[in-house]
Amino acid sequence: MRAICKDATNSTVLQEGMQYFVFPHGPDAFYVSKFNSEESHTGAYQRDRFEVVEEVEKIQEKDIAARDNSKKTFHWEQMDLFDFLPDDLEENQQVIKIIIPEDIIHPLDCIHSLKSKAFRNVQLRWSSYVRAIQDYHDCSWFEATDKLLEHQKSKLPIVMARDPEGK
Protein backbone atom coordinates (compact mmCIF):
# COMPACT_ATOMS: atom_id res chain seq x y z
CA MET A 1 0.00 0.00 0.00
CA ARG A 2 0.99 3.62 -0.35
CA ALA A 3 0.30 6.27 2.24
CA ILE A 4 1.08 9.91 2.84
CA CYS A 5 2.60 10.91 6.17
CA LYS A 6 0.25 13.22 8.10
CA ASP A 7 2.28 13.48 11.31
CA ALA A 8 6.08 13.34 11.44
CA THR A 9 6.35 14.52 15.04
CA ASN A 10 9.34 13.11 16.97
CA SER A 11 10.68 11.31 13.88
CA THR A 12 13.89 12.12 12.04
CA VAL A 13 13.06 9.60 9.32
CA LEU A 14 9.55 10.63 8.29
CA GLN A 15 8.68 13.80 6.41
CA GLU A 16 5.22 15.26 6.58
CA GLY A 17 3.41 15.17 3.21
CA MET A 18 5.82 12.59 1.78
CA GLN A 19 4.43 9.43 0.19
CA TYR A 20 5.70 6.07 1.50
CA PHE A 21 5.09 2.38 0.97
CA VAL A 22 3.43 0.91 4.06
CA PHE A 23 3.02 -2.71 5.12
CA PRO A 24 0.69 -3.86 7.92
CA HIS A 25 2.37 -4.55 11.25
CA GLY A 26 -0.34 -5.67 13.61
CA PRO A 27 -3.65 -3.83 14.05
CA ASP A 28 -2.24 -0.41 14.97
CA ALA A 29 1.03 0.01 13.03
CA PHE A 30 2.72 0.04 9.62
CA TYR A 31 6.19 -0.85 8.50
CA VAL A 32 7.21 2.23 6.47
CA SER A 33 9.56 2.16 3.48
CA LYS A 34 10.63 4.39 0.62
CA PHE A 35 10.75 1.25 -1.56
CA ASN A 36 8.10 -1.33 -2.41
CA SER A 37 9.74 -3.94 -0.21
CA GLU A 38 8.87 -4.84 3.34
CA GLU A 39 12.50 -5.90 4.00
CA SER A 40 13.75 -2.35 3.38
CA HIS A 41 11.53 -0.63 5.91
CA THR A 42 12.79 2.32 7.92
CA GLY A 43 10.76 1.49 11.00
CA ALA A 44 7.32 0.74 12.41
CA TYR A 45 4.96 3.66 13.05
CA GLN A 46 1.37 4.15 14.26
CA ARG A 47 -1.29 3.87 11.56
CA ASP A 48 -2.85 7.19 12.58
CA ARG A 49 0.28 9.03 11.31
CA PHE A 50 -0.59 8.03 7.71
CA GLU A 51 -3.40 8.45 5.23
CA VAL A 52 -3.63 5.43 2.91
CA VAL A 53 -3.68 6.58 -0.70
CA GLU A 54 -3.45 3.36 -2.69
CA GLU A 55 -4.40 -0.18 -1.75
CA VAL A 56 -2.35 -3.33 -2.42
CA GLU A 57 -4.32 -4.61 -5.43
CA LYS A 58 -3.87 -1.37 -7.40
CA ILE A 59 -0.11 -1.34 -6.79
CA GLN A 60 0.23 -4.98 -7.80
CA GLU A 61 -1.72 -4.38 -11.03
CA LYS A 62 0.57 -1.45 -11.89
CA ASP A 63 3.67 -3.52 -11.12
CA ILE A 64 2.49 -6.36 -13.35
CA ALA A 65 1.71 -3.93 -16.17
CA ALA A 66 5.10 -2.26 -15.75
CA ARG A 67 6.88 -5.63 -15.86
CA ASP A 68 4.99 -6.61 -19.04
CA ASN A 69 5.88 -3.30 -20.69
CA SER A 70 9.53 -3.61 -19.72
CA LYS A 71 9.70 -7.07 -21.29
CA LYS A 72 8.35 -5.65 -24.54
CA THR A 73 10.55 -2.55 -24.50
CA PHE A 74 13.93 -3.93 -23.49
CA HIS A 75 16.00 -6.65 -25.09
CA TRP A 76 18.72 -7.91 -22.78
CA GLU A 77 21.67 -9.74 -24.24
CA GLN A 78 24.75 -11.22 -22.62
CA MET A 79 27.90 -9.45 -23.76
CA ASP A 80 31.13 -11.27 -24.41
CA LEU A 81 34.03 -9.20 -23.15
CA PHE A 82 36.48 -11.06 -25.34
CA ASP A 83 34.84 -10.68 -28.77
CA PHE A 84 37.82 -8.69 -30.01
CA LEU A 85 40.23 -11.63 -29.51
CA PRO A 86 40.88 -14.00 -32.41
CA ASP A 87 39.45 -17.51 -32.02
CA ASP A 88 42.80 -19.26 -32.30
CA LEU A 89 45.22 -17.20 -30.27
CA GLU A 90 47.99 -19.79 -30.65
CA GLU A 91 47.92 -19.54 -34.46
CA ASN A 92 47.96 -15.73 -34.55
CA GLN A 93 50.63 -15.35 -31.88
CA GLN A 94 54.02 -14.09 -33.02
CA VAL A 95 56.63 -16.74 -32.27
CA ILE A 96 60.40 -16.38 -32.39
CA LYS A 97 63.34 -18.60 -31.54
CA ILE A 98 66.21 -16.87 -29.83
CA ILE A 99 69.49 -17.80 -28.18
CA ILE A 100 69.73 -16.08 -24.80
CA PRO A 101 72.68 -13.65 -24.83
CA GLU A 102 75.33 -14.10 -22.15
CA ASP A 103 74.95 -10.50 -20.98
CA ILE A 104 71.39 -11.24 -19.76
CA ILE A 105 72.05 -11.81 -16.08
CA HIS A 106 69.84 -12.47 -13.11
CA PRO A 107 69.46 -9.31 -10.98
CA LEU A 108 70.76 -11.24 -7.97
CA ASP A 109 74.02 -11.85 -9.88
CA CYS A 110 74.41 -8.16 -10.77
CA ILE A 111 77.45 -6.35 -9.34
CA HIS A 112 75.99 -2.84 -9.66
CA SER A 113 74.52 -0.85 -6.78
CA LEU A 114 70.82 -1.52 -6.14
CA LYS A 115 69.97 2.14 -6.69
CA SER A 116 71.96 2.56 -9.91
CA LYS A 117 70.57 2.90 -13.42
CA ALA A 118 72.75 0.00 -14.53
CA PHE A 119 71.06 -2.31 -12.00
CA ARG A 120 67.62 -1.11 -13.12
CA ASN A 121 68.56 -1.86 -16.75
CA VAL A 122 69.66 -5.37 -15.76
CA GLN A 123 66.31 -5.88 -14.00
CA LEU A 124 64.32 -4.62 -16.98
CA ARG A 125 66.17 -6.75 -19.53
CA TRP A 126 65.88 -9.83 -17.30
CA SER A 127 62.16 -9.35 -16.74
CA SER A 128 61.46 -8.74 -20.45
CA TYR A 129 63.10 -12.07 -21.35
CA VAL A 130 61.34 -13.95 -18.54
CA ARG A 131 57.95 -12.46 -19.48
CA ALA A 132 58.41 -13.35 -23.16
CA ILE A 133 59.10 -16.97 -22.16
CA GLN A 134 56.26 -16.91 -19.66
CA ASP A 135 53.75 -15.64 -22.25
CA TYR A 136 54.57 -18.30 -24.82
CA HIS A 137 54.97 -21.30 -22.51
CA ASP A 138 52.10 -20.27 -20.19
CA CYS A 139 54.14 -20.96 -17.08
CA SER A 140 54.99 -19.27 -13.80
CA TRP A 141 57.73 -16.69 -13.32
CA PHE A 142 59.94 -19.27 -11.62
CA GLU A 143 59.48 -21.86 -14.38
CA ALA A 144 60.25 -19.22 -17.02
CA THR A 145 63.38 -18.21 -15.06
CA ASP A 146 64.54 -21.84 -14.95
CA LYS A 147 63.97 -22.23 -18.71
CA LEU A 148 65.88 -19.02 -19.39
CA LEU A 149 68.87 -20.13 -17.31
CA GLU A 150 68.81 -23.63 -18.82
CA HIS A 151 68.77 -22.36 -22.41
CA GLN A 152 71.36 -19.69 -21.68
CA LYS A 153 73.71 -22.29 -20.24
CA SER A 154 73.19 -24.81 -23.05
CA LYS A 155 73.19 -22.07 -25.75
CA LEU A 156 70.17 -23.68 -27.39
CA PRO A 157 67.45 -21.50 -28.92
CA ILE A 158 64.22 -21.08 -26.99
CA VAL A 159 60.79 -20.25 -28.37
CA MET A 160 59.28 -16.99 -27.11
CA ALA A 161 56.11 -15.01 -27.70
CA ARG A 162 57.96 -11.86 -28.83
CA ASP A 163 61.39 -10.30 -29.12
CA PRO A 164 62.24 -9.21 -25.57
CA GLU A 165 64.63 -6.52 -26.87
CA GLY A 166 61.80 -5.06 -28.97
CA LYS A 167 63.75 -5.30 -32.23
List pLDDT tens digits, range 62-85. Answer: 666 666 555 555 566 666 666 655
Q: In this structure, is residue 78 part of a structural domain?
A: no
Q: Which pTM does this prediction carry? A: 0.44
79 belongs to a structural domain? no
Query: Cα-flanking dihedrals φ and ψ of residue 139, to 5°?
Result: -130, 175
Q: What is the mean pLDDT of the chain?
A: 81
Instruction: Examine the domain organization and report whether 93 and 155 are in the same domain.
Output: yes
**Which pLDDT score, from 0 to 100, does residue 136 have?**
87
**pLDDT tens digits for 31-64?**
998 888 878 788 889 889 988 887 765 555 566 6
Domain assignment of residue 153, yes or no: yes
Number of domains comprising the chain? 2
d(CA 105, CA 127) in angstroms, rounded, equals 10
**What domain range is 111 assigned to?**
89-160
Is residue 10 one of the residues assigned to a domain?
yes
**What pLDDT does residue 119 have?**
93
pLDDT score, position 159:
87
Q: Give me the helix-helix angle, 117-137 and 141-154, nearest 10°.
A: 100
pLDDT at 13 exceeding the cut of 60: yes
Q: Are residues 98 and 153 in the same domain?
A: yes
User: Has residue 84 been placed in a domain?
Assistant: no
Exposed, middle or buried: residue 158 (CB in 10 Å: 0-12, 13-18, 19+)? buried
Pair type for strands 19-24 and 2-5: antiparallel
User: Pick from 25, 40, 72: which residue ends a domain?
Assistant: 72
- The pLDDT score that the predictor gives to residue 120 is 93
